[in-house]
Chains A and B, each alone.
Chain A
Amino acid sequence: MIEAKRRRHSAFPLDKPSGRRHESAPFMSHPHNYLSWRIWTVYAVLAGISIPWYWPAEDTRMLLGFPLWVVVSVMGSLAVSGFTAWLFVCRWPNDEAEDEA
């Protein structure tokens, strides 16, 4: 009961409770759910933003004293850190539950 409540509160934002998946194996309650394609799509998008492949070669714009591309890249890294921390804290696979020794 408590476990089900905890799971509902920390549902993954992109996970719509629809279709077969939810009935047979809810997206985030499945063991080792860190392999979900949705999670790695988020990482791919964040990597696409963080890695400065799309900036003009002679871009000299600055923000807060840094080159603009550096600020965007650092923000992307911060987003990766935040997302990763959230996954560890809220989405740790259930079968690895709180097995205090």
Chain B
Amino acid sequence: MIAAAAETNVIPFGAGALAFIGVYLLSMVWIGWLGMRAKEENTLRDHFIGGSGVGFFVLLLTLFATQYSGNTILGFSGKAYRIGFAWLTCVHFMTAIVVTYLLFAPKLFKLAKQHAFITPTDYLAHRFNHRGLNLLATLIMVASLMNFYLAQLTAMGRAVEGLTTLDPETAFLWGVVVLAGIMLVYETMGGFRAVAWTDVIQGGVLALGFLVLLVLIFKEYGSMEQTTRTLLQIAPEKVLPPKAPEVRSWISYILLLGVGAALYPQAIQRIYAARSARILRKSLAVMAFMPLCTALVAVLVGVTAAAHLAGELQGASSDAVLGVMLRHIQEQSLFGYALVVIIFAAILGAIMSTADSTLLSMSSMVTKDLYMGFVRPHASQATLTSLGKWISTVFVVVLAALAVWLNNSGTKLTLVELLEMKFDMLLQLAPAFMIAIHWQRMRAGPVFAGMFAGLVFALLFFWVPAKGDGFLTMLKNSGFHPGVYGLLLNIFIGVTGSWIVNARSKT
């Protein structure tokens, strides 16, 4: 879901392990080539959605690999290290994402098949036919994904930092360049097919990584009872039930991420890409159980580290807690070393699988919704497909350069801060997708006004002081995210505005 910006802190890998990682990465390029050979036609839909769509196995693993990223392993375990069992909320908000699909996936899938949608904005254009709304929604989605992609490029660099004997800055640079380069090559060759097929490998390795991680944690650090009792002694607040402000934070996270992540453009495009309703509903049914196999494991890792590695890491560095644990395991035996290599491959796969789908989604929206929508509506499909590939290249070059520059300048944010900022924006798309898809009398003007007002209101909170007596300061400290307040305003404007417009048009 979110990329990780965390050091792995493992001991530098030997030639064998690096060769294994190299073969793993080259297999992605090979899959990209297979995707290119499977191409049916040189059209936008074929490149960005995979033509007639994908089957159950591929859809399930591409949904899984796209939704669960390096952050699920690194960021979630880091947060659980900081706050303890209270981060169990991540299991609930990851489940809430799948629950949210109930609200719009069936109807959106049907419309997508009927009208050959490619991007999320295609649905908005079909539903509202309002250029301002199309532009605003596209800009929100592209801005959110740029944030997302940047974080993942940073994660790629950080993941590689500890693996070689190079100095950290050089290793970071090479990590970003090589991994982003490989991703760009296979995506440019095979488009959606390459991304979805590589997700099968990446998702498979990710699932294996979680399993290995679960076994290793209990083997190396003892039973959960021992961990819980130790934590009760040294940091009881990480074991006790959350207090009222934390409970409000749970509810806010479930709303913010449950709704916001369901609206990720790449997630919506995977709904479009299902070959049939049967395949989509079965994939989503399996996805409903994934948080218990992934996010919950990450919480157990973080809590175990909090008990056994107390005080070793602070702030943003605590996202590296898994790396510290892996280093301990790596030092134990050759078998432990081999398992760490598998977990590392899982982390790389998790980061890349989310990054590639993000890149493809950004490229599709700029090509289809901005260039074709506003600049050259009659451009040929071949021209647009070719342009889409160039746009991917530009995104990779610019954002990779930015990631390297930010790393060298020493700017650090914890992963959860990055996560919240973009969800505050994405959440503002909810009325247009989840209410308007059912309520045919919802009007374009009020939806646009609501989306704009909700976005501005949510973003303004970043400048509201955290201390003081003002109303906005009180809201900021209430435990709910700014995006949730923005969404309430957004719904109010969209719904009441539509009622007023409808009433006036009757008279």
Point out residues on A near B: beta carbons under 8 Å: 32, 34-35, 39, 43, 47, 50-53, 55-60, 62, 64-67, 69-70, 73-74, 77-78, 80-82, 84-89, 92-93, 95-101
- The answer to whether B286 touches A85 (Cβ under 8 A) is yes
- The answer to whether A57 touches B243 (Cβ under 8 A) is yes
20 contacts between A and B (CB under 8 A): A34-B103, A52-B241, A53-B244, A53-B247, A57-B241, A60-B236, A65-B224, A65-B225, A65-B226, A65-B227, A67-B239, A67-B241, A77-B291, A88-B102, A96-B106, A96-B110, A96-B277, A97-B277, A99-B276, A101-B275
Could you mark each residue 75-114 of chain B with 1 if its beta carbon is under 8 Å from any beta carbon of chain A, else 0? 0000000000100100110010011001100110110010
Q: Which residue of B lies closest to A70 (CB)?
A: B85
For A51, give its contact among B102, B228, B250, B282 (CB under 8 Å): B250
For residue B373, give the distance in angstroms from its CB to the closest CB of chain A: 26
Known A34-B103, A51-B250; contact A85-B278, beta-carbon cutoff 8 A: no
Q: Which residue of B lies closest to A69 (CB)?
A: B241
- The answer to whether B292 touches A84 (Cβ under 8 A) is no
For B236, what are the chain A residues with a Cβ–Cβ distance below 8 Å?
60
Tell me the chain B residues, 238-292 only, with Cβ under 8 Å from chain A.
239-244, 247, 250-251, 254, 275-278, 281-282, 284-286, 288-289, 291-292
B296 within 8 A of A: yes
For A92, what are the chain B residues with a Cβ–Cβ distance below 8 Å?
106, 277, 281
- The answer to whether A81 touches B291 (Cβ under 8 A) is yes
Could you mark each residue 452-488 of chain B with 1 if its beta carbon is under 8 Å from any beta carbon of chain A, else 0? 0000000000000000000000000000000000000
Q: Please, how many angstroms separate the alpha-carbon atoms of A69 and B85 in the complex?
A: 10
Best-surrounded residue of B88, B228, B296 (most CB of chain A within 10 A):
B88
A-B CB proximity, top 8 nearest: A65-B225, A65-B224, A55-B241, A85-B285, A88-B285, A34-B102, A84-B288, A81-B288
B43 within 8 A of A: no
Q: Which residue of B lies closest to A67 (CB)?
A: B239
For A34, what are the chain B residues with a Cβ–Cβ distance below 8 Å?
102-103, 106
For B286, what are the chain A residues with a Cβ–Cβ distance below 8 Å?
85
Point out residues on B near A: beta carbons under 8 Å: 52-53, 85, 88, 91-92, 95, 98-99, 102-103, 106-107, 109-110, 113, 223-228, 232, 236, 239-244, 247, 250-251, 254, 275-278, 281-282, 284-286, 288-289, 291-292, 296, 438
- The answer to whether A74 touches B292 (Cβ under 8 A) is yes
For B296, what are the chain A residues with a Cβ–Cβ distance below 8 Å?
74
Known: A66-B224, A92-B281, A101-B275. 12 other contacts (CB 8 A): A34-B103, A57-B240, A57-B241, A62-B225, A62-B228, A65-B223, A73-B91, A80-B95, A84-B102, A85-B288, A93-B106, A96-B106
- The answer to whether B228 touches A84 (Cβ under 8 A) is no
Known A32-B106, A81-B292; contact A43-B99, beta-carbon cutoff 8 A: yes
- The answer to whether B53 touches A101 (Cβ under 8 A) is yes
For A52, what are the chain B residues with a Cβ–Cβ distance below 8 Å?
241-242, 247, 250
Known A88-B284, A96-B110; contact A81-B289, beta-carbon cutoff 8 A: yes
For residue B51, give the distance in angstroms from its CB to the closest CB of chain A: 10
Q: Which residue of B lies closest to A68 (CB)?
A: B241
- The answer to whether A60 touches B250 (Cβ under 8 A) is no
Q: Please, how many angstroms separate the alpha-carbon atoms of A80 and B438 in the complex?
A: 24
For B227, what are the chain A residues with a Cβ–Cβ distance below 8 Å?
65
For B281, what are the chain A residues with a Cβ–Cβ distance below 8 Å?
88-89, 92
Known A56-B241, A65-B224; contact A89-B282, beta-carbon cutoff 8 A: yes
For residue B89, give the distance in angstroms from its CB to the closest CB of chain A: 8
For A82, what are the chain B residues with a Cβ–Cβ distance below 8 Å?
288
Q: Please, how many angstroms separate the alpha-carbon atoms of A72 and B381 in the complex?
A: 54
Q: Please, how many angstroms separate the alpha-carbon atoms of A59 and B236 in the complex?
A: 11
Q: Which residue of B lies closest to A50 (CB)?
A: B92
For residue B255, give the distance in angstroms from its CB to the closest CB of chain A: 11
For A56, what are the chain B residues with a Cβ–Cβ distance below 8 Å?
241
Q: Please, how many angstroms separate the alpha-carbon atoms of A53 and B110 in the complex?
A: 39
For residue B339, give the distance in angstroms from its CB to the closest CB of chain A: 23
For residue B279, give the distance in angstroms from its CB to the closest CB of chain A: 9
For A77, give its contact among B103, B278, B292, B438 (CB under 8 Å): B292
Q: Please, how many angstroms separate the alpha-carbon atoms of A47 and B258 in the complex?
A: 13
Q: Please, how many angstroms separate the alpha-carbon atoms of A52 and B224 in the complex?
A: 20
For residue A99, give the distance in angstroms from its CB to the closest CB of chain B: 6
Q: Please, how many angstroms separate the alpha-carbon atoms of A35 and B242 in the complex?
A: 31
- The answer to whether A64 touches B224 (Cβ under 8 A) is yes
- The answer to whether B277 touches A99 (Cβ under 8 A) is yes
Q: Please, how many angstroms separate the alpha-carbon atoms of A97 and B281 in the complex?
A: 11
Q: Please, how many angstroms separate the alpha-carbon atoms of A95 and B106 in the complex?
A: 9
Q: Please, how many angstroms separate the alpha-carbon atoms of A101 and B289 in the complex?
A: 27
For residue B300, give the distance in angstroms from its CB to the closest CB of chain A: 9
For B95, give its contact among A65, A81, A88, A101 (CB under 8 Å): A81
- The answer to whether A51 touches B241 (Cβ under 8 A) is no
